[in-house]
Structure 1
Amino acid sequence: MIGGSRPQDDLQSRLARLEQSLLRWRRSASCIAALALGLTLLAWSSVADGLDARRFRLLDDAGRVRAALDFDARDEPRFALVDAAGKPRLQLRLQGAEAFVDLLDERGRHRLGLAIDTAGLPQVLLLDEEQRPRYQLAMNEKGAPGMMFLAGDSTICAGQGIDTNGEPWRIDRPLRAEPKQGEAGASEKDRGR
C-alpha cells in the first residue's frame, strides 16, 4: 500500500473516471450527430420541399470533404466527420439491426466504439493501437451491467458486474474461450454467473 490507499480503491477510482470520460464522449458524439442532422434538415426545409440523393458531402473552404452522408458497400447508411488531413474521426453507421458510433484516432484507427446490438443492448468498447478490444462495458437482456478487461488476444483478464439476480460478480484471473488440453475450464462461479 502506498500512502495508505489500497490498489483496489485506486482501480475503482480510475474506472469511475474512465466511465465519466466515456459518458462525456458519448454525449459529445450524440450532440454532434444531432446538430449535423438538424442543420441538414433545416437546410433542406428552407430550400425545397425535398432533396433526394445517394450521397451528401460537406466541403470546407479549400474544397476538402469534411463530412459525408452516404451508403457503404452493403447499402447501409453511414455518416462520417473527417479531419483536415482527410481521415475519418467520427462515424455513425447502421449494420442490419445494429447501430454504431466509432471514434477514430488521427491515423484512422478505431479506438472507441459505442453500439446497440441486434437485441437492443448497449455496449462500449475501447480498442488499443492495434484496434484490439481491451475494455468492454455492456449490459445483458435483463439490464445487468458488467465490464471486462481483455488481453491483446481477447482473453478476459478481469471483470466485474452485477448478475441477473442483483448479485455482484468478479473475474480476477484470465479466462480463455476454451481450456487448453488437460486443463479444466473456468467454472460458472469463476465467471460470476
Structure 2
Amino acid sequence: MNSRKVVYLFFTTLLVGSISGTIVGFILEFNVYTEGSFLNMLFGIIWMIGISAAFSLISQMGFFAYLTVHRFGLGLFKSQKLWNYVQLILIAFTVFDLIYFRYVAFAETGETIWGYMVMPLLLLFYGIVIAFIKAKGTNKGAFIPALFFIVVVTTIEWVPALTVNDPKWLWLYFTPLITANTWQLLILHRLNNQSK
C-alpha cells in the first residue's frame, strides 16, 4: 500500500471516529449542550470532536499493533489453523473477563451477573457480523482474525473506560473505537486491491 493510501486510511478513520463519537456524545449530553447560549453548544461540539478524535487515534494504534501481532502469531505458530485456535481461546477469555471481572468489581448488593452479560455478548455478536462481512469480501481465512480484532483489540483499547464504569464514558469511549475499528477492518483490503 502506498503512502497516499495510508494517509487516506488515517484521515478517513479519524473522521469516522470523530463524527460517530460526537453524535453519541451530543445525544448523551443533549440537555447540557442545548441549554444556555449557542456558544455553549458550539464549544461542547468542538470538545466532543476533539475527544472522539483522540479515541479514534487509539483505535488506529491498536489496528497497526494488531497487524504486527497477527504476523508475529503466524510466524510463531507456523500454521494459520493453530494461530486461529489461539485467537479463539483469547476471544473466549476476553468475553468471559468482560462479564465476570466487571461483575466482581462493580456489582452492587442484589445485582445479578445477567446485566453484565449484555454488552460483551452484543460486542461478540457485532464482531461475528463484521467478521462475516470481512470474510465475504476477502476470504474465509479472514473471519477469525477479524473477529479477534473487533472483540479483543477493541476491549483492550476500551479498558480505561471499563475501569471507571460510568455509562456515559463507556459509550463515549466505545463509539469512536468500534466505528473506527470497523472502518479500518473493512476498508483495508479495498485499499490493498486498489494498490495492486
Q: TM > 0.5 between the two? A: no
Normalised to the residue count of structure 1, the TM-score between the two structures is 0.33
More strand as a share of residues: 1
Normalised to the residue count of structure 2, the TM-score between the two structures is 0.32
Larger Rg: 1
More helix as a share of residues: 2
